[in-house]
Structure 1
Amino acid sequence: MSQNQYTKALDAAGVSLWLDDLSRDRINSGDLQNLIETKTITGVTTNPAIFGKALTTGTAYDAQLAELAAAGADALSAVVEMTTDDVRSACDVLAPVYEATNGYDGRVSIEVDPRLAWDTDETVAQAIDLSKKVGRPNVMVKIPATEQGLPAITRVLAEGISVNVTLIFSLERYRQVVNAWLTGLERARSEGRDLATIHSVASFFVSRVDTEIDNQLEAAQLPAEQLLQLRGRAGIANARLAYRIFEQMQDTERWRLLSSNGANLQRPLWASTGTKNPDYSDVRYVNGLVAEYTVNTLPEDTLNAVADHGEITGNRIPDNYEMDDAHMDDLARAGIDYAQVVAKLETEGLEKFVEAWNELLEGIEQRLEQYK
């Protein structure tokens, strides 16, 4: 089986494509392996909503649910057992990619209980537990970039555990994430850990920014021409300006010292890259964010669209900084409060994950009852 030309071109441009989905059916059927072989998938990300869909539909988990019910498991322990089993299996499928890229790719992410997002100590404890329970070197633990999550990120990295920092919306918060990551590596180094084994990505959410800002622009009743000029551009502009922070970080003495000790870059990961507005191209959040040392995590529909009609242009992210700065200024002049937007998106993002997690627990509780 040959690689798709468009996904292969993205990989050649320095963009790692990770699948934003996982289920036992996808693993057992060989579908995940097929996507690695034909569509250049080099990693997997998960979240509570993804596991909620996987664990509460179909029959793939029935046998394990029956065993867990017989053992007296509650919903939470059952969910942890099943999700860590799936992540471990996916890690094994991606192990050849992990080995071939020396740990750069071949990663599978599992998220801490989103209800712990405001509790630093509990987040750290569960991150360590999840890493041990999966028991594979290519697992990444997802930690939300809340204020309480920042010190947790530092502490988990200091333990030598690879971290996927999730739910980043603002440039200010991204700078704080970069600092938390650098501090974690510095602590790991001081404790004698091998920095070359620690990897991290920073998941910057894209399409949700457009959804919120577009809604506010529509509500502002701007002249049609101005609205057309402003809508649908903030998500990519925001992400590209985050990439500028990533570039600036590499030109610091702090990073150079860590790099000389074997540290790996914390790559920007573009998340929420499925297009939500049908007026926009279904590949806009892939085509518009091509740069080396990045990851794009894609829902399967978006991956298929990219494979079908993706495009690698010569327009690099750094070529757009001036235009992106100007666009953000134009939004401010149109009455968009950037700080309010990103704060709202972080709050809503966490609420959605907590809601999905609670629905998952409720669904598993009901299924466990069926076996008792």
Structure 2
Amino acid sequence: MTDHLQDLSNAGVSIWLDDLSRELIEEGELQRLIDEDHVVGVTTNPSIFASALAKGEKYNEQVRELAAQGADVDATVFALTTTDVRRACDVLKPVFEATNGVDGRVSIEVSPLLAHDRDATFASAKELAAEVGRDNVLIKIPATTEGGPAISDTLGEGISVNVTLIFGLERYRSVMEAYVTGLEKAQANGHDLSKIESVASFFVSRVDTEIDNRIEKSGADTSLKGKAGVANARLAYQAFEEFFTGERWEALEAAGARKQRPLWASTGVKDPTLPDTMYVVELCVENTVNTMPGKTLEATKDHGEILGDRVRPNYADARQVMDALAAAGVDYDDVIATVEREGVEKFESAWGDLLKTVQGQLDAAAR
């Protein structure tokens, strides 16, 4: 029987799980995924925590303890989420050590309500890193205009960062620039660059969803549907290869710095007419991370035939797809601005759901 996930890992793709809950940790499922399904990292976001706390009962005891201490809803959310991430970091520590800190990482995100506040994002990043207290934590910071300087500030403190909510190529280039600036700050502050890891989470399926909706409404060539997300990500990888060259980068690399790997996010296929492993198979290339929801991980394990590098040989095709979309009237810049705005709004909404759920649990515990 072919082990598709092993094939993916052998191709240089780090498989991370886009999910976390106390059940996954305590019932041994996370460890099983590491042992059997080649999972080497975990990502979280406000939506994941909102779902975990709404469904799970394993948080009740800690909520009661926090309620008895008089903790408010913000302090309770902070304690619950950092506890989960700390414990997941401990589960993944052997992977972290075996890969010299490249993998074995667990991400936790600053509040999306801070996405447009540089100083507050930086302060939150430091607070989260200190509270989790594990070398293999990654602090997630949204790639907003204000997020860029906060990314550099956080890296400058020697804190590893997962930059999230990247949709467009121009924004992605600014994220890589922020990474290098952050490394230079870290070096000036006396930090060991070899201990700093960063990934750039480039979102895939939401670009397809937005562009496909515009194609449907405009009556444009429907043969272009389902192609933009992969093409856009392939061009992002080309930008990655182009960026990490030259004297500036080589000086940092000589000091121990690692390239900021692209992480393919939002890899669950939304359109049921498309192959459910498309964003895994078609974006297979070395030096990347693919973070998958459980359903996509299972689909890849079952029938995701890995065809080798599907990115670098297809740069020209990716450009042709994007040119064809432009000729069909799809405004790329407007698409990216729309999905970036909606991405922050969705995480803000999920954060609100999370606060509401936890407040209800605190109220119940106080009765």
Aligned-partner residue type, residue 45 of structure 1: T
CA distance in 1, matches of 2:81, 2:309: 40
**TM-score for the superposition, normalised by structure 2:** 0.98
1:46 aligned partner: 44
Equivalent residue of 2:283, what SS? coil
- Give the 5 Å matches for 1:16-165: 16-165=14-163
Among 317, 321, 336, which residue is 1:342 paired with? 336
Paired residues, number: 366
Structure 1 counterpart of 2:222: 227
Mapped pair 1:274 → 2:272? no
| Pair 1:214–1:187, CA change in 2 (3 A) | same
Q: TM-score, normalised by structure 1?
A: 0.97
Superposition deviation, residue 58 in structure 1:
2.7
State whether structure 2 residue 289 is matched by structure 1 residue 295: yes
SS of the aligned residue for 1:51 comes to helix
Distance (Å, rounded) in 1 between the aligned partners of 2:56 and 2:237: 40
Residue pairs, 1:314-329, within 5 angstroms? 314-329=308-323
Helix, strand or coil for the counterpart of 1:22? coil
Structure-2 separation of matches of 1:70 and 1:315:
54
* Cα separation, 2, equivalents of 1:255 and 1:201: 16
CA distance in 2 between partners of 1:57 and 1:74 (Å): 21
What runs of 5+ residues in structure 1 fail to find an aligned partner? Answer: none
Q: Give yes or no for contact 1:4–1:40 (8 Å, CA) kept in 2.
A: no
What's the C-alpha RMSD, in Å, of the aligned pairs? 1.0
CA distance in 2, matches of 1:276, 1:327: 20
Q: Give 1:201 shift.
A: 0.1
**Equivalent position SS for 1:371:** helix
Alignment partner, residue 258 of structure 1: 252
After the TM superposition, which parts of structure 1 deviate over 4 Å for at least 4 consecutive aligned residues?
none
User: Is the 2:11–2:308 contact (alpha carbons within 8 Å) kept by the matching residues of 1?
Assistant: no
2:286/2:309 contact within 8 Å kept? no
Question: Which whole-Å CA distance do the structure 1 matches of 2:282 and 2:313 have between them?
Answer: 12
The residue aligned with 1:176 is 174
SS of the aligned residue for 1:292 comes to coil
Aligned letter for 1:265? K
Structure 1 CA distance, aligned partners of 2:357 and 2:35?
A: 34
Deviations 1:98-145 (A, max 9, x none): 000000000000000000000000000000000000000000000000
**Structure 1 residues 322-349: Cα deviation after superposition (integer angstroms, max 9, x where no partner):** 1111111110010000000000000000
1:315 CA drift (Å): 4.6
CA distance in 2, matches of 1:332, 1:68: 54
- Which amino acid in structure 2 is aligned with residue 227 of structure 1? T
Alpha-carbon offset, residue 4 of structure 1: 7.3
Q: Could you report, residue by residue, the CA deviation over 1:183-202 in whole angstroms, capped at 9, with x for unpaired residues?
A: 00011111221000000000
Does the Cα contact within 8 Å between 1:4 and 1:38 map onto a contact in 2? no
Q: State the alpha-carbon separation in 2 of the partners of residues 212 and 60 from structure 1.
A: 37
- Unpaired stretches in structure 2, ≥5 consecutive residues: none
Cα 1:9/1:314, change in 2 over 3 Å: closer
Measured in 2, the distance between the counterparts of 1:319 and 1:93 equals 37
The one-letter code of the counterpart of 1:167 is L
Aligned-partner Cα distance in 1 for 2:124–2:246: 32
What is the alpha-carbon distance in structure 1 between the residues aligned to residue 240 and residue 300 of structure 2? Answer: 25
Return the alpha-carbon distance in structure 1 between the equivalents of residues 104 and 327 of structure 2. Answer: 44
Q: CA–CA distance in 2 between the matches of 1:96 and 1:344? A: 40
The secondary structure found in structure 2 opposite 1:264 is coil
Whole-angstrom CA distance in 2 between matches of 1:84 and 1:119: 22
